[in-house]
Amino acid sequence: MIPGEPNSLSLEDLAKPVIKKDNELLIKTIEVGIDGTDLDIIKGVHGEPPPDSKKIILGHEALGKVLDSGASVKKFVKGALVVPTVRRPCNIASCIPCRKNESDMCITGRYLERGIKGLNGFLSEYFVEEEDYLVEIPSSIADVAVLMEPLSICIKTFTIIDKIQKRLSWEAEKTLILGAGPLGILFTLLMKSKGYETVVLSRSSEQSSKAELIRLIGARYYSTISTSSADIKNSEGGFDIIIEATGVYEMVLKSFEYLKKNGIIALTGIYNTSHQIQLNFGKVLLDLVLDNKVVFGAVNSNISHFREAVSETLKNYSRWKGILHKITADKIKLVDFPELVSKKSNFIKKIITFK
Ligand code: BGC
Ligand code: ZN
């Protein structure tokens, strides 16, 4: 794929990568999940190739198996199942977050992301990765481990929400999730298991399989097709927490209407910057101040969020597995990916399998 060049996706034969450093491992890819960021790269609106190339190998949500390791690798044995993190630090001395293994909060913007920004991704039969960027996966959750990357994003977002909420001496009760894509569904699972009353609003119809899945988790579902803002306000009142997982900024603006006093809005979408709208920004700001509201953005995740994603999945596996299996049900072969990628489908998520 050539970033910046729409639909330049191609399948190529590559040499098997080799371990070059003592702390690296050779990994056989098992599955790779495709998300909105990949589709944006394919559309040519996101992404940056590695410095020595015009092309980038896609893929940042992966599960693999250790085949071989360098001399100093201690944490993983051959045959171990692993999930890699996405971002790599900027290595600029003044960047405290990157120095503290929190490159998800990098302050220089010179971080790299595998399969997205300046580094090849995991959408190939084998990949090489350093020990410190891998998380071990217990075999009991291998069937859903390709979801650890998106789940780690939910964990990071929730961790921030929880910290902001702690400024109050009472608990928040009601959450609205905007979007019923894979991330919206994972957020719904997480918020329900944390004990929140959860409502989801998205553009899929109320009869859609996504809506059904949301109801199966025990959350209420509304479709923007059949529900107006007034309807939602009438039937639900307001929300303490709103999590935006659509990338549609009109949804963000609408959601301000549903936010209760002292409420929190978490933004996780990658928004389109080519449209402009007219807005009374003074009013937006005044409402935030007078109502003690907080709006924040969250992107990427670090290894601690991946580890927590694994432990939450282990803890909730028996309750979550039915839903997680539905998200990962649609497996496709790498050879079929270029053709399927632009086709409309009912898939909740495309997972490329190398088995
Ligand atoms: C990935 C993040 C990444 C972001 C922006 C998302 O799809 O999950 O890890 O930081 O895209 O590139
Ligand atoms: Zn940095």
Q: Which domains does the chain have, with CATH numbers?
A: 24-148+302-353 (3.90.180.10), 172-297 (3.40.50.720)
Q: Show Cβ contacts of residue 73 under 8 Å, excluding neighbours closer than 6 positions.
A: 22, 23, 24, 25, 131
pLDDT at 166: 97
The torsion angle over the Cα atoms of residues 23, 24, 25 and 26, rounded to 10 degrees, is -160
Q: State the Cα–Cα distance between residues 36 and 270, nearest whole angstrom.
A: 9
pLDDT score of 52: 92
Average pLDDT, the chain: 95
Give the model's confidence band at 276: pLDDT under 50 very low, under 70 low, under 90 confident, else very high: confident
C-alpha distances in angstroms, 64 versus 93, 128, 136, 238, 246?
32, 11, 10, 43, 28
Say if ligand 1 is within 6 A of residue 48 CB: no
Q: Which of 110-119, 211-220, 342-351 has the lowest mean pLDDT?
A: 342-351
Phi, psi of 318 (to 5 degrees): -65, -30
| CB of 86 sitting under 6 A from ligand 1 | yes
Cβ atoms 205, 211 nearer than 8 A: yes
Closest among 159, 163, 235 to 201, alpha carbons compared:
235
CA–centroid distance, residue 41 to ligand 1 (Å): 11
Pocket test for ligand 1, best of 32, 34, 35, 37 (most atoms within 8 A of CB): 37
Q: What confidence score (pLDDT) does residue 247 get?
A: 87
Q: Looking at the CA of 94, which ligand is closest?
A: 2
Mean pLDDT of the 288-304 span = 98
For a pocket test of ligand 1, which of 83, 90, 113 has the largest count of ligand atoms closer than 8 A to its C-beta? 113
pLDDT value at residue 251 = 87
Neighbours of 347 (CB within 10 A): 17
Enumerate the H helices of the chain as residue ranges: 36-43, 96-99, 148-165, 182-193, 209-217, 229-236, 249-255, 281-290, 303-327, 337-341
Instruction: Return the ligand 1 atom nearest residue 153 CA.
Output: 8
- 319: helix, strand or coil: helix
pLDDT digits (tens, 9 = 90+) for 162-181: 999 999 999 999 999 999 99
Mean pLDDT score, 322-340:
93
User: pTM score, two decimals?
Assistant: 0.96
Residue 111 tokens read as: 């971080």
Q: How confident is the model at residue 274 (pLDDT cuts 50, 70, 90)?
A: confident
For CA atoms 225, 297, 188, 302, the dihedral sign is positive
37 CB within 6 A, ligand 1: yes
Whether the per-residue pLDDT at 344 is higher than 80: the answer is no
Q: Which ligand is nearest to the CA of 84?
A: 1
Decide whether any atom of ligand 1 lies within 6 Å of the 268 Cβ: no
In the reported structure, the alpha carbon of residue 299 is separated from the centroid of ligand 1 by a whole-number distance in angstroms of 6
